[in-house]
Chains A and B, each alone.
Chain A
Amino acid sequence: MAFVQMVDKNLPPSRYQAVKFGMWIAMVSITMMFGAFTSAYLVRKPVGNWYEFKLPVEFFYSTLILIASSFLMEWAYRSYKQQEEKSYKVGIFLTLLLGIGFIIAQVIAWKALVAQGITIDLNVSGSFLYVLSGFHALHVLGGIGALFVSNFVAFGDRYELTMLRTLRLDLVRQYWHFVDILWIYLLVF
């Protein structure tokens, strides 16, 4: 979000690179945070007192939704660069919809978990699941915020291909792929 706002109106190429680079570094630091969670998980699991349970199937549906939205995002970005206005708008709108769909699917999945009796304070294994998926959902919400802005720009402003808008869309795209891959990593866990 902040990256989208901060870009100056007049954008020299060095800044273009710098801003993209800053985004990668931000991703590295988010990765470290989730790395810490998953290492804690790995350290804790073999100690015992660990309830095994089956993941609710909703988590797999949400995964499909997120992967699909990632493809749509890529499509929207390429369409934008190739000046295909219509598919760009459709793509960016559908990405946003699927992003929101992912969050809804996650909420349903959490409800299914609670229905199974696995609440956050039952056992550490369940706690970890909520923490991992919950923090991931927060990061997706950040991405959805950025997608909202992208949609406002796509539908509110007149279409034109500029460096600045390419950069902004590129940042949203990269972040979106990032949370997608992050989720797959967490799911595999």
Chain B
Amino acid sequence: MSSHNTSTKEQDYLIESQGYDDHFHEHHHGDKYQMNFLTTYIFSQDHKMIARQFLITGIFWAFIGALMSLVFRIQLGFPDADLSWLKPFLGKWIVVNEAGIGKLEPEFYYALVTMHGTIIVFFVLTAGLSGTFSNLLIPLQIGARDMASPFLNMLSYWFFFLSGAVMFYSLFLSTGPFSGGWVAYPPLSALPQASNGSGNGMTLWLVSLTLFVVSVLLGGINYITTVLNLRTKGMTMWRMPLTVWAFLVTAILALLSFPVLASGFFLLIFDRSLGTSFYLSDIFVNGQILDRIGGSPILYQHLFWFLGHPEVYIIILPAMGLVSEVMSVHARKPIFGYRAMVYSIMAIGFLSFIVWAHHMFMSGVNPFLSNFFVVFTLIIAVPSAVKVFNWIGTLYGGNIRMNTQMLFCIGFVSMFISGGLTGIFLGNSAIDIQQHDTYFVVAHFHIVMGVAAFFGMFAGIYNWFPKMFGRYMNDTMGKIHFWITMIGAYAVFGPMHYLGMAGVPRRYYRFDTFDAFKGFDDMNKFITIAAAITFLAQLVFIINFFYSMYKGKKVTTPNPWKSNSLEWTTPIEPGHGNWPGKIPTVHRWAYDYGKDDREFIQQHIPLRDGEQHSSH
């Protein structure tokens, strides 16, 4: 370390002399939170352990979700191939005909598509992403001992776990899991007789996601309360790292939108089991007229997308926060336009509540109403562009460390630009007439909120792995992971834009039987092969993750990245309560990099004589 930077000893001295004494260890003989195996690893109330639980559960679900996508990609790329080799895994969902050719059951194809969406959107990119990093970073970066309510925090994880267990069980039902699309529109979702998956599969889907809503709300209450009430001395709102800002706004969005989804689900449950007609009207099933009248399926869509649109920002905002922080640290520069970043997070959060009907342009809503939603949808491009500009501004002239997490940040910005631009196409209700429900939409949202959010998550994992496990991940394997994923993701989703513009609809079982779409066989094959290679690269990540957890290079300094924020002032493996003695007091914002010839100045270091606060 250079002479400008404080050594570990000096740091401890600083925290002891300047820090805030909350009498943390006074009545403290052994820690009641970490007494035995069960309370340490299973029913832990420590935010860092809960974060790791969320992360590992998220990785498990990501693996399942990705496997599913591979199966349906094989079906789409090679509709005539013999799939009997999948029979050991999928059992009766592969039907082998007399000629010995195994075929994927069309019903199960829909179930796979549905489950892939549900799992990735909710279990991986909501719980796995913001559950992990909000839990890990909020208390550490604002200087708190733990969350406001460690108990509710534990419940939040276990509700998520339970929700996952129910969904996992539904995969093995004899009628299969729900198969009506991850959005679960009625009437398919409301009538158990509508399809195989609409029976018990849908019931379990609803149970699972209702539990999930509980988990998100418990988590969200905690995150907001902690950020607003438990910041350490000197940590004003405008000194918080952007990660914390992003988690705060994310939690607010979740808290306002998930209850509405719950309402929508409850009405759906009533329609399914009590004979009400909130969403049902004039329906024929198997040639029979139902006596359900007076309901409106559009009502469900309104309730669903009132959550659904904020949900995409619930997914992407934490990724944006992680990227901002990691980028600034590894470009060795203050984040460009800190306040603009915060205001654009807020603007995105606010606007996300008044654009939901752009998912419904083609469902029969009033076209004049659509105009309103078009305008606000396009306005979201403004704060998004501000953020992109600031990320590029942060990189410009920086002393960039090209490590894995930085690569993923740059990859994130690339994905966000590509996916964001196609959003402007889709946000126009007129263009949407052609594009809706095509592969153009699939490509758009996979790039902008799927791949981009994953990249943000990867950047976060590579960057904070040392804090979570006291070891580094392997950087070479990380770079291999990055480059294959980056190229692979474009190879998968790039051609899909083309398919979509040609009108190829999403969710179809096979295309070679349609005159209009059978010319794309080779393209579909290409996409499938690219997807398989990209999937293999994720195995590199998983091996790297678990290998490094036990065998990775050990971290020897508390601040391996020479970063400013408070989590790096804790011991290498922080115990419960994060700081062994006093909590550090904060004297400056989180982005004093390269100030007055000092490479970095941590937040708890007081101003020197005559030193001015960085203007931001």
Residue on A nearest B261 in the bound complex, by CB: A36
Is A37 located at the chain interface by the 8 A CB criterion? yes
Query: Interface readout for B247-265 with A: 1 if CB under 8 Å, 0 if not?
Result: 0000000011111101110
Asked whether, in the complex, the Cβ of B255 is within 8 Å of the Cβ of A124, the reply is no
Residue on B nearest A43 in the bound complex, by CB: B299
- Scan residues 71-107 of chain A and give those whose CB is less than 8 A from a CB of chain B: none
Taking A15-B148, A18-B225, A127-B270 as contacts, is the C-beta distance between A40 and B27 under 8 angstroms? no
Cα separation A18 to B302 with both chains bound (whole Å): 34
Asked whether, in the complex, the Cβ of B294 is within 8 Å of the Cβ of A123, the reply is yes
Min distance, Cβ A2 to any Cβ of chain B, angstroms: 6
Min distance, Cβ B144 to any Cβ of chain A, angstroms: 9
Is B229 located at the chain interface by the 8 A CB criterion? yes
Is A55 located at the chain interface by the 8 A CB criterion? no
Is B306 located at the chain interface by the 8 A CB criterion? yes
Is A30 located at the chain interface by the 8 A CB criterion? yes
Q: Which of B262, B276, B303 has a CB less than 8 Å from the CB of A124?
A: B276
- Scan residues 161-181 of chain A and give those whose CB is less than 8 A from a CB of chain B: none
Taking A40-B267, A47-B296, A120-B276 as contacts, is the C-beta distance between A18 and B255 under 8 angstroms? no
Besides the contacts A14-B230, A40-B278, A40-B303, what 6 more A-B pairs have beta carbons closer than 8 Å? Answer: A15-B148, A22-B148, A22-B221, A22-B222, A33-B263, A35-B260
Which of B256, B257, B259 has the largest number of chain A CB atoms within 10 A? B259
18 A-B contact pairs sorted by A residue (CB < 8 Å): A2-B155, A6-B152, A15-B148, A18-B225, A18-B230, A19-B149, A22-B148, A26-B221, A29-B258, A29-B259, A30-B259, A32-B256, A33-B262, A33-B263, A37-B263, A43-B302, A124-B295, A127-B276
Query: Interface readout for B125-160 with A: 1 if CB under 8 Å, 0 if not?
Result: 000000000000000000000001111100100000
Cα separation A32 to B262 with both chains bound (whole Å): 10
Residue on A nearest B223 in the bound complex, by CB: A25
Asked whether, in the complex, the Cβ of A25 is within 8 Å of the Cβ of B255, the reply is yes
Q: A residues within 8 A CB of B260?
A: 32-33, 35-36
Min distance, Cβ A5 to any Cβ of chain B, angstroms: 7
Asked whether, in the complex, the Cβ of A22 is within 8 Å of the Cβ of B277, the reply is no
Asked whether, in the complex, the Cβ of A5 is within 8 Å of the Cβ of B230, the reply is no
Residue on A nearest B150 in the bound complex, by CB: A6
Q: Which of A32, A34, A44 has a CB less than 8 Å from the CB of B255?
A: A32
Taking A33-B259, A124-B277 as contacts, is the C-beta distance between A25 and B221 under 8 angstroms? yes
Q: Which of A25, A40, A121, A123 has a CB less than 8 Å from the CB of B263?
A: A40
Q: A residues within 8 A CB of B150?
A: 6
Q: What residues make up the interface of B, taking CB atoms closer than 8 Å to A?
A: 22, 27, 148-152, 155, 217, 220-222, 224-226, 228-230, 255-260, 262-264, 266-267, 270, 274-278, 293-296, 299, 302-303, 306
Taking A25-B225, A49-B293 as contacts, is the C-beta distance between A121 and B259 under 8 angstroms? no
Asked whether, in the complex, the Cβ of A131 is within 8 Å of the Cβ of B259, the reply is no
Min distance, Cβ A134 to any Cβ of chain B, angstroms: 9
Asked whether, in the complex, the Cβ of B259 is within 8 Å of the Cβ of A32, the reply is yes
Cα separation A3 to B275 with both chains bound (whole Å): 36
Cα separation A168 to B346 with both chains bound (whole Å): 33
Residue on A nearest B22 in the bound complex, by CB: A12
Q: A residues within 8 A CB of B224?
A: 22, 25
Cα separation A37 to B151 with both chains bound (whole Å): 30
Which of A2, A21, A33, A50 has the largest number of chain B CB atoms within 10 A? A33
Is A116 located at the chain interface by the 8 A CB criterion? no
Cα separation A21 to B222 with both chains bound (whole Å): 10
Q: What residues make up the interface of A, taking CB atoms closer than 8 Å to B?
A: 2-3, 5-6, 10, 12, 14-15, 17-19, 21-22, 25-26, 28-30, 32-37, 40, 43-44, 47, 49-50, 120-121, 123-124, 127, 131, 135
Asked whether, in the complex, the Cβ of B270 is within 8 Å of the Cβ of A29, the reply is no
Residue on A nearest B256 in the bound complex, by CB: A32
Q: A residues within 8 A CB of B229?
A: 14, 17-18, 21
Q: Which 8 A-B pairs have the closest CB atoms?
A: A121-B275, A36-B263, A33-B259, A18-B229, A6-B151, A36-B260, A32-B259, A127-B276
Min distance, Cβ B303 to any Cβ of chain A, angstroms: 6
Cα separation A159 to B256 with both chains bound (whole Å): 39
Q: B residues within 8 A CB of A47?
A: 296
Min distance, Cβ B76 to any Cβ of chain A, angstroms: 37
Taking A10-B27, A43-B299 as contacts, is the C-beta distance between A49 and B152 under 8 angstroms? no
Q: B residues within 8 A CB of A50?
A: 294
Q: B residues within 8 A CB of A37?
A: 263, 267
Asked whether, in the complex, the Cβ of A28 is within 8 Å of the Cβ of B294, the reply is no
Residue on B nearest A40 in the bound complex, by CB: B299
Q: B residues within 8 A CB of A22?
A: 148-149, 152, 221-222, 224-225
Asked whether, in the complex, the Cβ of B296 is within 8 Å of the Cβ of A19, the reply is no
Asked whether, in the complex, the Cβ of B296 is within 8 Å of the Cβ of A121, the reply is no
Q: A residues within 8 A CB of B226?
A: 18
Q: B residues within 8 A CB of A29?
A: 217, 220-221, 255-256, 258-259
Q: B residues within 8 A CB of A124?
A: 276-278, 294-295
Q: A residues within 8 A CB of B149?
A: 2-3, 6, 19, 22
Asked whether, in the complex, the Cβ of A19 is within 8 Å of the Cβ of B148, the reply is yes
Q: A residues within 8 A CB of B256?
A: 28-29, 32
Asked whether, in the complex, the Cβ of B266 is within 8 Å of the Cβ of A28, the reply is no
Taking A18-B148, A21-B228, A22-B221 as contacts, is the C-beta distance between A135 and B266 under 8 angstroms? yes
Residue on A nearest B254 in the bound complex, by CB: A29
Q: A residues within 8 A CB of B278?
A: 40, 44, 124, 127
Cα separation A120 to B292 with both chains bound (whole Å): 12
Cα separation A41 to B2 with both chains bound (whole Å): 66
Min distance, Cβ B212 to any Cβ of chain A, angstroms: 14
Q: B residues within 8 A CB of A15?
A: 148, 230
Q: B residues within 8 A CB of A25?
A: 220-221, 224-225, 255
Min distance, Cβ A76 to any Cβ of chain B, angstroms: 25
Min distance, Cβ B275 to any Cβ of chain A, angstroms: 4
